Structure 1
Amino acid sequence: MTIERLDPAALPAASGNYTHGTLITGARRTVYVSGQVPWADADGRVPPEFEEQCRLTWRHVLTVLAEAGMGAEHLAKVTTYLSDRRYREANSRIRQEVLGDHRPALTIIITDIYSEDWLLEIDAVAVG
């Protein structure tokens, strides 16, 4: 399987650790990761700070991928929902920590989130 970044010269350069598009060839499996939220345990406790919530939510995404024998390098598309614009920089920094040099297609949406305690939600598509 190969994941090819699609960054057409006719478009402004993608900034912030993403690519304009992703072409996958030779994939055998696809995993659709449902929206993951920052629940810390079965009791639904949620860390109070954004950075803790973001790292925890990424751990949940990676746990789903691991169940399928995949990792962050298999991500083709990630959508992040933020409850407030003020979390953009921290979100970007933590995503870069998690993904390293891997740059999937990416969408970030500023919106209300299902629970007022959640400051973000992440869903994803991975291929392997």
Structure 2
Amino acid sequence: MEMIVHNPTEGIYAATDDFVHAIEVRSPSRFLFIAGTMGLDSDGVPGTTLEEQLELIWANLRVILAEAGMSVDNIVRLTSYLRDPSYAEANAKARVAALGGRRVPTTAIVAQTLASGWLVEIEVVAAG
């Protein structure tokens, strides 16, 4: 599988340091679509802070990816659902750290969550 970043610099607004406009995936043998994953521990209890929930989300995503024989290196698309726009910076910082600085196409959406204790939810697409 080959991943090629397409990040034009002319005729379009500039991508920031934490995302790219597009990734072309050539010859993947499989795709993994991960449902929105929340910052819940193994008992289903949410972390008490945004940072705790982000740590739990990325730990949960790693478990799901590992079950499929993948890692965060296989992530090719990411969408974050934030309860508050003020969470954007912490979310981006956690994503950059979790991906080891690798940039992928990403979208952040501010949305009401189903439970008031859920602060952020992240869904990804991975390819292998």
Q: Tell me the TM-score normalised to structure 2 length.
A: 0.94
Equivalent residue, structure 2, for 1:17 = 18
Aligned-partner SS, 1:80: strand
1:16–1:92 contact (8 Å) kept in structure 2: no
Structure 2 residue aligned with 1:108:
108
Unaligned 5+ segments in structure 1 are none
Distance 1:46 1:101 in 2: 26
Letter in structure 1 aligned against 2:119: L
Structure 2 gap ranges (5+): none
Q: Distance in 2 between matches of 1:63 and 1:82?
A: 22
Give the superposition deviation at 1:26: 1.3
1:60 counterpart SS class: helix
Deviation, 1:96, is 0.9
- Kindly report the root-mean-square deviation, in angstroms, between the aligned alpha carbons of the 2 structures: 1.1
In the alignment, the residues of structure 2 paired with residue 5 and residue 97 of structure 1 have an alpha-carbon distance, to the nearest angstrom, of 19
Specify the code of the residue in structure 2 equivalent to 1:66.
Answer: A
* Counterpart mapping for 1:1-128 below 5 A: 1-9=1-9, 10-42=11-43, 44-128=44-128
Question: 1-side partners of 2:106 and 2:30: how far apart?
Answer: 20
Shift of 1:23: 0.4
TM-score for the superposition, normalised by structure 1: 0.94
Q: Distance in 2 between matches of 1:62 and 1:41?
A: 14
Moved over 4 A (4+): none
Q: Identity rate of aligned residues, in percent?
A: 31
Tell me the distance in 1 between the aligned counterparts of 2:17 and 2:62.
20
Residue type of the partner of 1:127?
Answer: A
State how many pairs are aligned.
127
- Tell me, yes or no, if the aligned pair for 1:84 and 1:110 is still in contact at 8 Å: yes
